Amino acid sequence: MKWGYLKKKLKNWEFSLADSNINLLMWAHYAAEHKGMCLEFHRIEGTELANNQTTRPISYTDNHPTLSTKSLTNNTTRTTSQKRILYAKSKHWAYEQEWRHIVNLGNQSHPWPAPLKAIYFGCKTEEQDIYLVRSIINDSKVKYFKAEKNATTFGITFRSI
């Protein structure tokens, strides 16, 4: 996992992690109908993205995770119980191959969970948005790509920009 789909949602940003940057449904759902972007990270040891306590794949299941009041009020089991809920999803969503990076402190800025390697823009991303992102990132090591629809097959390819 090293791909993060990013889209603006009202006043907040939504950040979803996945195993692939070419999943058309992820682009539709998590990258604002191909208007958003996908970030590629270096998942290397010592980064939050490589920390298995905060970043892990979703467990897809047919059943809701079960909880008891006792498990939520007990300091020893509370975190484990919360994570069972936060890292679980219906099997219907398995195509996403989603990962979650959960930070306990909300309502504040957090650094990237790993070094940023590249940014992939959707095929409907406007040039002014690409320019804005490039000027904000302003890092010569980060590569930039833009998606293009495949001519004959359902899919996308990326060209360097």
Query: Rounded to whole angstroms, how far apart are CA atoms 54 and 74?
Result: 20
Of 24-33, 61-70, 106-115, the least confident: 106-115
Q: Is residue 81 part of a domain?
A: no
Q: Is residue 79 part of a domain?
A: no
| Domain range for 27 | 3-61+97-160
pLDDT at residue 106, as a whole number: 65
Q: Which residue has the higher pLDDT, 47 or 83?
A: 47
Residues 117-161 have pLDDT tens digits of 999 999 999 999 999 999 999 999 999 999 999 999 999 999 999
Q: Is residue 87 part of a domain?
A: no
Query: Rounded to whole angstroms, how far apart are CA atoms 50 and 42?
Result: 9
pLDDT at residue 8, as a whole number: 46
**Count of Cβ atoms closer than 10 Å to residue 76 Cβ:** 7
Q: Is residue 68 part of a domain?
A: no
pLDDT at residue 154, as a whole number: 94
Domain tally, the chain: 1
Residues 79-116 have pLDDT tens digits of 777 778 888 999 999 988 888 887 776 667 777 888 89
Least Cα distance to 18 among 9, 8, 29, 10 occurs for 29
Q: Is residue 80 part of a domain?
A: no
- Four-CA torsion 18, 22, 26, 28, nearest 10 degrees: 160
pLDDT at residue 12, as a whole number: 45
**Count of Cβ atoms closer than 10 Å to residue 142 Cβ:** 16
Q: Is residue 57 part of a domain?
A: yes
Q: Is residue 106 part of a domain?
A: yes
Q: Is residue 52 part of a domain?
A: yes
